Amino acid sequence: MDMQGKRVVITGGSSGIGFEIARQLAGKRARLVLTGRRAEALAEAVATLRETTGAEVHGIAGDIVDPATQQHLVAQSQALFGGIDVLVNNAGGVRAGRLEKTTEAELRAMIEVDLIAPILLTRAFLPALRASGAGMVVNIASGIAQMGVPFYTGYAAAKAGLARFGEALRRELKGESVHVMTVYPGATDTRMMTTNKADASMGFALQPVADVVGSIIAGMEEDAFEVVRGGEVRQAMLAQNRDDPAAIDARFLALKPQLEAAVRDHNAL
């Protein structure tokens, strides 16, 4: 898809990966609506993008889990642009830690923001995306959706659900002018990771957000099915997880005490 002039909604566009997607798309003269719960942070992000890129950027504040916010976002985007070409389901949250130590409220919050909200929002935007004639849905999942990591059980469930949702929807919409792409970022240097103390030795080497988003934009331009970061090393690990999962279990067994201590305060809900 050529992104020039495209009308794009990015949930969670005030920070991190979502903000950088907005910045790079603004450079391609896309027209943007960004969302986020913190109205001030959102207004600041919108102002920065307008000043630095000159692009048309709007902010709509609210909790994307809230059905009223979802409906408002669809109606306002339609009113602003007269239609929508791309929905980026980027807003997300994580709470790491042992399953028994994770509260029901935390588990439900993760599943709401990482899985249910993107499904409902996609459903709500589908008439507009169809009307575009060349629509696209981009779902920001996680590398943890491809390979389960201990102490991220709820997050793995929600993000794996989002990934499979996207695959099923892509096939459902094949030949109907709406494409669906799924993104599997590894650990990325954003606000979400500030409470994660795991390092490269535990598989959490932080990648620069501009590089991660460069791959996402390239994927959008190529109508890719998915964007997987980490190159050959990552592909080899995913193959091993498929062919010899016990070997991956053994690697995590050796890491478990350090990993549990390093991620027990990882909270970005």
Q: Do residues 90 and 139 touch, judged by C-beta distance below 8 A?
A: no
Give the pair of three-digit tokens for residue 166. 């996207």
Q: CB pairs under 8 A, 24+ apart, for 170-175?
A: 170/225
**Binding to ligand NAP by residue 124, rule CB under 6 A?**
no
**Binding to ligand NAP by residue 14, rule CB under 6 A?**
yes
**Binding to ligand NAP by residue 107, rule CB under 6 A?**
no
**Binding to ligand NAP by residue 24, rule CB under 6 A?**
no
The footprint of ligand NAP on residues 82-101 (CB under 6 A) is 90-94
Distance from C-alpha of 125 to C-alpha of 139, rounded to nearest angstrom: 14
Among 140, 149, 181, 259, binds ligand NAP (CB under 6 A): 140
For the chain, where are the alpha helices, taking DSSP H only? 16-26, 39-53, 67-81, 104-111, 117-132, 153-172, 209-221, 231-243, 245-263
Q: Measured from the CB atom, is 166 or 185 closer to ligand NAP? A: 185
Give the pair of three-digit tokens for residue 105. 């409220």
Q: Measured from the CB atom, is 57 or 132 closer to ligand NAP? A: 57
**Binding to ligand NAP by residue 142, rule CB under 6 A?**
yes
Catalytic residue among 155, 165, 184, 204: 155
Q: Shortest gap between Cβ of 71 and ligand NAP (angstroms)? A: 14
For helices 39-53 and 16-26, what crossing angle results, to 10°?
30
Among 86, 190, 230, 262, binds ligand NAP (CB under 6 A): 190
**Binding to ligand NAP by residue 108, rule CB under 6 A?**
no
**Binding to ligand NAP by residue 198, rule CB under 6 A?**
no
Q: Do residues 81 and 241 touch, judged by C-beta distance below 8 A?
A: no
**Binding to ligand NAP by residue 162, rule CB under 6 A?**
no
**Binding to ligand NAP by residue 65, rule CB under 6 A?**
yes
Distance from C-alpha of 136 to C-alpha of 251, rounded to nearest angstrom: 38
Q: Measured from the CB atom, is 132 or 143 closer to ligand NAP? A: 143
Tell me whether residue 155 is one of the annotated catalytic residues: yes
C-alpha distances (whole Å) from 148 to each of 67, 91, 152, 160 are 30, 21, 7, 9
User: One-letter amino acid identity for 172?
Assistant: E
Residues that bind ligand NAP (CB under 6 A): 11-12, 14-18, 35-38, 41, 63-65, 90-94, 113, 140, 142, 185, 187-188, 190-193, 268
Residues with catalytic roles? 155
